[in-house]
Amino acid sequence: MKKYTTVLSLLLAMTGCTSSNQDTSEATLTEKEGYVLSKGERAVAKNHRIRFLVLHYTALDQAQSFETLTRSELVSANYLIPDRPKTYKGLLVADQLVDDHDRSWHAGVSQWKNRSNLNDTSLGIEIVNAGWDQGTGQLLGEPYNEQQIELLISLTRDLVRKYDIEPTDIVGHSDIAPGRKIDPGPFFPWKRLAEAGIGAWPDEGTIDNYLARFSVSPPSMIQVAKALQTYGYGYLDQQPERVVEAFQMRFNQENVSGIVDIRTAAILFSLIDKYHGKDKASAILLPSEVAALG
């Protein structure tokens, strides 16, 4: 009888048939057209729609960037960092082109942490910059300038605080669409952002420990792929070299080759250590699966 009563009580609660302590005081009520909305009680089972920040460069100059991102019916972004930001009352000005609660079209076909179509769950931040040439590895224009980085840090810091975004969920377009996209590129100062508390970055001491370990017994490509997937990368079954290249653009910018050297592996596992736990890294590196790099 007790079990039956408990189930019945739950069903009645779900259908609104039990008594409620809901606050219906005037302060919680909002008049709408034809009805009144009460916010006297709020559910605890929820999270923010916005889980990721995706950083891009425009590959266009300032005028072309603004025109494309505001007039095109194919692409948009929530925020634009100008090439020479204006100031207002001594503060740098970023352009908000799409409200946070609206879905901008910046990510396209994408995947991160087993989620796809990241337009649904992210904010896109475009930075005016000409980009880089993948063939030569050279910049096509000027580097990201100091004002842009200062403004980006202030903006992203505010968004991280507002939406409780994890360090590993601040990503580049190349991270979520490896091979298809190469921005914000290997000249983007990810380490500088991390030092300001924005995004992920490995600890040098942990890298050194893994370098010593891997110089004797490097991980297999299967283990590297598992670690990349654990960190958040997708598409490993389709183009693993491009995924490695995207990772290197982010964390090992001196070697953007798509080839896993021991430093790339050491950086990867140090990130797993820091953001997913040493136990997770150890589980990937089980002795039975250790083999030489392919």
Contacts of 282 (CB under 8 A, 6+ apart): none
Residue written as token pair 């995947």: 111
Residue with token string 């430093």: 263
In which residue are the tokens 């930075």 written? Answer: 127
CA distance 251 to 236: 18
Task: List b or e across 35-74, with b for residues whose CB sees 16 or more CB atoms inside 10 angstroms.
Answer: eeeeeeeeeeeeeeebbbbbbbbbbbeeeebbebbeeeee
Residue 3, φ and ψ in degrees, nearest 5: -65, -45
Q: Which residues contact 92 (CB under 8 A, 6 or more apart)?
A: 85, 86, 147, 150, 151, 154
Options 26, 41, 126, 142, the catalytic residue: 126
List residues bridging with 88 in a β-sheet: 91
| 272, HSE (Cβ side, Cα atoms, 13 Å) | 26
Angle at 125 between CA 50 and CA 104, to 5 degrees: 60
**Residue 178, φ and ψ in degrees, nearest 5:** -60, 135
| Annotation marks residue 73 as catalytic | no
Task: Name the amino acid, one letter, at 38.
Answer: S
200/75 Cα distance (integer angstroms) = 27
- Going by C-alpha positions, the residue among 165, 191, 179 that lies closest to residue 253 is 191
Write out the H or E segment, with its range, that includes residue 171: strand 170-172
Catalytic positions, please?
126
